[in-house]
Structure 1
């Protein structure tokens, strides 16, 4: 299905593979942040000095000592959190450009998320731990061991989903994690490792390694994707009736010379208003899905390289698309001009579900 959206390319993209793209959660903000293997975090705004939406303006670059693997906004547009191969979890104060290390893992840090409801920052590292930080208090970070190496994090106002190796998924209650930081606070700094049982333990319904996970905006469930061209949709409610609703489907496959070529589904993002979701694959394709009606709403034109990251703006009007070869492993042969950031301005009904009025 063709699209009524307008699309433009953002000027001044990173010089190496993009690892993450996140729009600000602040209502009607047009700022977004990008992390890259070129050891930088980039802050952009779609609006120019006159307040008009143009082709994206690079506001600031925050240098790091190693490739940056993930990034997210904090309580507002002036607070950013980043993680990467320097093993650190960093808070960036935008007005001063000051970087503060919240904690250090014992290996590269793959993911970081922020809960505005509880002022929590949660990071997930290849050392198979979560670090939970309470931002609005002078607190010690709690270290939670994981059974496997984490690949992706996503959260709702009440829950945190951790997707790991061996097809393992843990769902944590965020209030319980907040209490754990308070308990860790009461201990000496060196005694902050806490064994905590997740609210739910699950095995992914996808047969192959999980690549991404994204939570529904209504706090009801999540979608996950695999390296083998599939997406699963599941609900938190553990009742048999609710669990019977879960399903998985094939996507991001191309027929080349009569052979079905399967690509990883690298990115997932839910629309904040309509609850539909976008998927981005190694085939360079972005598709919009209605998870309730189990239908594809539309598919956009094929991009020149793999889709590395996706993010909707807080008002659902814009979809950010990071196109980047080699983003998975920071390949050295990323050619100049192949890393691009596209912004789609969506039509009023473009991301609306099939059954929506």
Structure 2
């Protein structure tokens, strides 16, 4: 979909989840958006050329769902959650089956290739599963619970509850290639791998993002910056980071209800979208980067007293917002 195909800048998905939205992921093959929710469901929406959406399918877990990822060929989904399991849903057959079991909730799932899935759990392990077999084909033990993980270019990065970043070379997937402390002092909310170059970004509950390079020769470019703060000096959690698939710029979304677009190479903010009335829990770019989806859903950053069951998913038509060259045109 070309951004010009969306007639409005911002569109709301119809029939959103009935409870908190925990994860969003676009198909790498077409404009299908998967949403994981605390209502024990994974839902798939088709984004039409007009920008309107159609709820296509839904499948259940036995407890809240924390994560969902599309298969590289767009024919399957894998999801994990508080039922300590990962499930595989086949788009063509409409069938789902359990493919992984942990002793604690599954917080992150990733496709390594068409048939191999990685699951990161609060049981302090990452397990690798061949989706055609009921037993793990490899397990790696981490120092603490997995809070977030991502992979790109043969590298997997996991952030754990003790603020450690574990880097794994997927050529040797059961060994930690490198372990280092997070560059941020406070709890990790998200790790996301660069889509251009070798490195990752990490976000924390204390309104900061760290940019880290893997190559020792490039580590002089490591830096951290403050974000998602207001003039009253309130500090908000950075709940998600999504890298643009074309330009390598990235979005941050937070408890302050804002989405920002950043250029890590120039250390500049490219765009700040108008704030929404609520906290933003998760984000995702579509396959060509023309759409940014984000969920307005309570993230519990202020505790139960401020809990809200307002759950919405918006689609934003991305134009020059994410292009680092757009700064020169202004």
Contact kept, 8 Å, 2:32 with 2:44, in 1: the verdict is: yes
Distance 1:330 1:262, change over 3 A: closer
How many Å separate the matches in 1 of 2:193 and 2:327?
Answer: 20
Deviation at 1:329, TM superposition (A): 11
CA displacement 1:294-336 (0-9 Å, x = unmatched): 0000100101111111111110110011110136799698545
Distance 1:95 1:119, change over 3 A: closer
| Alignment-derived partner of residue 225 in structure 2 | 249
The range that moved more, 119-128 or 263-272, is 119-128
Distance 1:329 1:61, change over 3 A: farther
How many Å separate the matches in 1 of 2:178 and 2:203?
Answer: 19
Matches for 1:1-357 after TM superposition, within 5 Å: 6-26=9-29, 29-47=30-48, 52-116=49-113, 119-135=115-131, 140-177=136-173, 196-239=174-217, 242-256=218-232, 260-326=233-299, 335=308, 338-347=310-319, 349-354=320-325
Deviation at 1:174, TM superposition (A): 1.0
Deviation at 1:61, TM superposition (A): 1.1
What are structure 2's unaligned runs of at least 5 residues? 1-6
Contact kept, 8 Å, 2:99 with 2:131, in 1: the verdict is: no
Deviation at 1:143, TM superposition (A): 2.0
Contact kept, 8 Å, 1:307 with 1:322, in 2: the verdict is: yes
The range that moved more, 291-300 or 303-312, is 303-312
Which stretches of structure 1, 4 residues or longer, exceed 4 Å deviation after superposition?
136-139, 327-336, 354-357
Deviation at 1:283, TM superposition (A): 0.5
| Alignment-derived partner of residue 190 in structure 1 | none
Contact kept, 8 Å, 2:67 with 2:81, in 1: the verdict is: yes
Distance 1:233 1:21, change over 3 A: same
How many Å separate the matches in 2 of 1:128 and 1:329?
Answer: 27
| Alignment-derived partner of residue 181 in structure 1 | none
Deviation at 1:151, TM superposition (A): 0.6
How many Å separate the matches in 2 of 1:326 and 1:279?
Answer: 15
Deviation at 1:169, TM superposition (A): 0.5
Q: CA RMSD in A?
A: 2.2
Q: TM-score, normalised by structure 1?
A: 0.85
The range that moved more, 284-293 or 60-69, is 60-69
How many Å separate the matches in 2 of 1:247 and 1:74?
Answer: 33
Bigger Rg over Cα: 1
Deviation at 1:140, TM superposition (A): 3.6
Contact kept, 8 Å, 1:287 with 1:298, in 2: the verdict is: yes
Deviation at 1:138, TM superposition (A): 7.9
